[in-house]
Amino acid sequence: TNGTKVDVLGREYVVDPMTNVTPHLLSHVGRDLHLQPRHPLRHVAQRVTQYMYDRYLSPRGNPLFSVHSQLHPAVTTHQNFDSLLIPKDHVSRKKSDNFYINEGHLLRAHTSAHQGELISMGFDNFLVIGDVYRRDEIDASHYPVFHQLEGMRLCTVKEVYGAHQNMDEYCLFESGERTDKLQGVHSGESARRMEADLKSCLLGLATTLFGKEAEVRWVDAYFPFTHPSWELEVLLNGEWVEVLGCGIVEQEILLNAGVEDKIGWAFGLGLERWAMKLYGIPDIRLFWSTDSGFLSQFEFDDPATKVTYKSVSKYKQCINDISFWLPKDMEYEAADFYDLVRTVGGPLVEQVNLVDTFTHPKKGLTSHCYRLVYRHMERVLTQKEVNVVHKRIEETAASSLGVSIR
């Protein structure tokens, strides 16, 4: 940033009131963990890619899917939202949930942002792998940057039904009512066949990576760009966690990209969640570690190598609370405070939770109390060291968010 412009991997953008990317956040752009040799996220991405190569072959025996893993993470609001039929007033567009570069651009919030351009370019079977950005809460399974792998497959009537003598008796489309199960443009049989292929593909992926004994379940879901939609959940340490979203691609997206004779499915999975389940990695911050205690455990070339992560001993937590009055004449969002904690506290902060809200009956002022859990991933933290950071967080909050510390 130089006040009026912000540089994102060599592209310059003019700053405006919508800009909320921070220098700290931007320092993650270009790390490309999914491309780093012997990084666990790359191992997982390679396993998924290999699975898709093996499952979908051309008649000549070549993989059908192409892989796009170096698309620029700065996208337009058209790519991230409009092209995916996300309404103008949809909650997912909120400034408090995204990292906007300016009014028209943001760091992609999902790899789905690239669907439209790749379909327009003529790709029918593709994977997109990349870093995605969301302003989120802070805990062991959330980090403002994570990685997704998107898969998309478009099929002609021949691919859905196989080649037959009287191909004209088969049809992908049939207009009707839009229901829970159908978009109202596909024939029931076509949609069912696509759903069956999608689900068997993804269940096969889960068993290939996690083993046959892994517990998984389908949950109905909603996405503006697929219908019907589902999420796959996996049992992880006794808790069901969502590991992917998927569905039948809204036909309007294909039409807008110039495709009239195909039906499609798409899925998007979070690489960190798959890696955490696959290797038993307990904390999402570890993926950013440059420490050999972490990285050395993944130093192998065959991505299918079995490993169980051994915790570099869990150091003690330090817990400090912070309470302040919210400003009266300024907007305040908890997400602004989370960004600030990330910027000032860096990798020392493990969790931030809003533990108490109080409104003064007479003054009409509201106060928030947050509990900050400090813990370094790879070394001991002293209370003294924590106090210095905590003090700096208080001071920065007071000066940049307009809050007054209680």
Contacts of ligand PHE in 82-111 (CB under 6 A): 110
Place of tokens 């698309």: 71
Of 33, 127, 246, 349, which lies in the binding site for ligand PHE, with binding defined by CB under 6 A? 246
**Separation of first and last alpha carbons in the chain:** 33
228 binds ligand PHE (CB under 6 A): no
Cβ at position 115, least distance to ligand PHE in Å: 8
Residue 187 CA from chain centroid, whole number:
32
245 binds ligand PHE (CB under 6 A): yes
> Based on CB atoms, which residue is closest to ligand PHE, 40 or 268?
268
Contacts of ligand PHE in 267-326 (CB under 6 A): 267-268
Phi-psi region of 255 (alpha: psi -120 to 50; beta: other; left: phi over 0): alpha
Q: Which helix (H) or strand (E) holds 133?
A: strand 125-133
Place of tokens 């220098």: 23
> Based on CB atoms, which residue is closest to ligand PHE, 101 or 127?
127
Is residue 154 within 8 Å of residue 124, measured between CB atoms?
yes
From 156-164, 201-209, 223-231, 326-334, span contacting ligand PHE (CB under 6 A): 223-231
Q: How far apart are CA 47 and CA 302, in angstroms?
A: 9
Of 112, 125, 183, 251, which lies in the binding site for ligand PHE, with binding defined by CB under 6 A? 112
Is residue 228 within 8 Å of residue 248, measured between CB atoms?
yes
Q: Which of 70, 79, 75 is nearest to 35 (CA)?
A: 70
Cβ at position 128, least distance to ligand PHE in Å: 10
Contacts of ligand PHE in 168-197 (CB under 6 A): none
Q: How far apart are CA 246 and CA 231, in angstroms?
A: 6
From 21-29, 181-189, 261-269, 395-403, span contacting ligand PHE (CB under 6 A): 261-269
143 binds ligand PHE (CB under 6 A): no
> Based on CB atoms, which residue is closest to ligand PHE, 218 or 300?
218
How long, in residues, is the chain? 406
DSSP state at residue 304: T
Neighbours of 307 (CB within 10 A): 15
Cβ at position 60, least distance to ligand PHE in Å: 29
125 binds ligand PHE (CB under 6 A): no
Residue of closest CB approach to ligand PHE: 268
Q: Which residues lie near ligand PHE (CB under 6 A)? A: 110, 112, 150, 223, 226, 229, 245-247, 266-268
